[in-house]
Amino acid sequence: MIDHSLLRPDLTLDEVRAGLTTAREYRTASVCVRPSDVGLAITELAGSEVAVGTVVGFPHGSSSTATKVFETGELVALGAQEIDMVIDIGRLRSGDIAFVQDEIAAVVRAARGRAVKVIFENCYLTDRQKTAGYEAAEKAGAAYVKTSTGFADGGATAADIALMRRTVSAAVKVKAAGGVRTLDALLALHELGATRFGATATATILDDLASRLANS
């Protein structure tokens, strides 16, 4: 259920390689790397079952739609298997739901069948804005709705995960990101409906799981 996150802007190439090794060793669902690291991740994870994901319009979501579409196409051509895109937060806060839906749909088309996870940065939104955004994402063909980038003022909360799961149909999955650093936190959000987790504390979480299983 974990997308091992390697998105910090200060990561060196050696640190990215170490993170990719962690993902391979712990057999995470995917890695989520910076766009410039997609080629490296494809090479380093060749032969593993770890999917390579990356981000579009990250972290603020304020790139033009054309830029997000171009970026998505380029990253898919490089081999990215999953795309985590940030919505235009200001447009959603302004009530321009049609723009948000059309932009997500454009990225979904550019992804050519790869899973698109739509990041909402929930800490900036009211519940009404969140609900409208999640509904727009489903109509646009998104595979996931996602809580946050992990780089804003807040991350995944129980209330938001519950609201996401209530709003979208079973066809759309929920990803929690931002502040999921322990096994107990992950399991609590999973109970509320999240099935993917963006995490940097992957080793800590999965070592705890292995210890509990060994002692059960």
Total-model pTM = 0.96
Predicted confidence at residue 116, as pLDDT, reads 98
Residue 31 to residue 81: CA distance in whole angstroms: 10
The answer to whether the Cα torsion of 181, 185, 189, 190 is positive or negative is: positive
* Sequence spans of domains, the chain: 2-215
Residues serving a catalytic function are 84, 146, 175
Give the bridge partners for 54, in sequence order: 33, 83
146: left (phi over 0), alpha (psi -120 to 50) or beta: beta
- CB distance 52 to 79 below 8 Å: yes
Give per-residue pLDDT as tens, 150-209: 999 889 999 999 999 999 999 999 999 999 999 999 999 999 999 999 999 999 999 999
- CB distance 83 to 111 below 8 Å: yes
Mind listing the pLDDT tens digit of every residue in the chain (216 residues)? 999 999 999 999 999 999 999 999 999 999 999 999 999 999 999 999 999 999 999 999 999 999 999 999 999 999 999 999 999 999 999 999 999 999 999 999 999 999 999 999 999 999 999 999 999 999 999 999 999 999 998 899 999 999 999 999 999 999 999 999 999 999 999 999 999 999 999 999 999 999 999 998
Residue 43 to residue 33: CA distance in whole angstroms: 13
Contacts of 39 (CB under 8 A, 6+ apart): 78, 79
| In the block, residue with structure tokens 């749909």 | 105
Give the CA distances from residue 58 to residues 16, 17, 53, 116, 151, in Å, rounded to whole numbers and listed in that order.
18, 21, 13, 14, 10
- CB distance 54 to 84 below 8 Å: yes
Residue 8 to residue 62: CA distance in whole angstroms: 19
What is the token pair recorded at 101? 């839906």
What is the token pair recorded at 37? 């690291």
Residue 179 to residue 71: CA distance in whole angstroms: 27
Select from 3.30.70.141, 3.90.1650.10, 3.90.1720.10, 3.20.20.70 the CATH code of 2-215.
Answer: 3.20.20.70
